[in-house]
Amino acid sequence: MSFVEWYEGHLAASPVKTKAITGGILWGIGDVVAQLVPQVAFSDDDNNDKATAATSKNIVYDFPRTGRAVLFGFAFHAPASHVHYNFLEWLTVKANVTGLGIPVFKAIMEQFVYWSWISNSIYHGAMGAMQGMTVDQIYDRIADVLWETQKAQWVFWIPVQLLNFRFVPVRHQLNVVLLTSIVWTALLSAWYPPVEEEEAQPASEGSKKGDTK
């Protein structure tokens, strides 16, 4: 039995559990990429030799942050996304949308009507809660970063989701999102390189967008 057949069997027998485990693993990988890429790509280097700079620099890694990402992907994002994609399919059928209108309808509903706002808000809230923030601090965090998160998400995810909704079966659409999210976190980490603690607060807030999916 190939890996694809093995995975398809588990996906058919236990879709939520399979997607939850997949989500936890891929969110963890995404966070590893998001943490390591900036430290390697933006290592101080007088000789423009990034490989040498990366090996000579002590890599600082936040293991609890990866743990939070794995927990969020496993416990919330994957199970909730399973419900979301099935609901979106039901909504599309109910609205009698057909042909090329299907990916457009789904992308509009997902990105502008409900899902992206809900998932991004819950993500920032959950990360804040797991870091021990108060309710007021969590609210301020969401208010500070949500709009910038949304704008960045639309630029990246709308084209991805149009293709996803057009060519990928519903049962695999979440997997496409999870795999693409690894690239997403790496790209945002490159766009918003790490800054020193004493630098301006808006720059550090911008880097938080690299955690969203």
pLDDT tens for each residue of 160-180 = 999 999 999 999 999 999 899
DSSP 57: S
> 27-47 pLDDT, tens per residue?
999 889 888 887 877 665 544
DSSP 4: H
pLDDT of residue 94: 97
pLDDT of residue 50: 52
Looking up tokens 């989701």 gives 161
Total residues belonging to the chain = 213
Note whether 211 and 77 are within 8 A (CB). Answer: no
- 201 pLDDT tier (thresholds 50, 70, 90): very low
| DSSP H helices in 42-114 | 50-56, 63-72, 78-94, 101-108
pLDDT of residue 49: 56
Note whether 97 and 103 are within 8 A (CB). Answer: no
Comparison of pLDDT for 189 and 123, the residue scoring more: 123
The region of weakest confidence among 100-109, 172-181, 200-209 is 200-209
Note whether 50 and 23 are within 8 A (CB). Answer: no
- 187 pLDDT tier (thresholds 50, 70, 90): low
Percent of the chain with pLDDT over 70: 79
Looking up tokens 């601090």 gives 137
Q: What is the pTM of this model?
A: 0.78
Note whether 123 and 72 are within 8 A (CB). Answer: yes
DSSP helix/strand/coil, 1? coil
Task: Report the alpha-carbon distance of residue 90 to residue 212 in Å, rounded.
Answer: 26
> 120-137 pLDDT, tens per residue?
899 889 988 998 999 999
Task: Report the alpha-carbon distance of residue 145 to residue 120 in Å, rounded.
Answer: 9
**First-last CA distance in the chain:** 32
Contacts of 129 (CB under 8 A, 6+ apart): 138
pLDDT of residue 204: 37
Looking up tokens 């004493």 gives 198
Query: Region 79-92: what's the mean pLDDT?
Result: 96
Crossing angle between the packed helical segments 135-167 and 115-130, to the nearest 10 degrees: 140
To the nearest whole number, what is the mean pLDDT of the chain?
A: 83
Query: Residue 71 pLDDT more than 60?
Result: yes
Percent of the chain with pLDDT over 90: 58
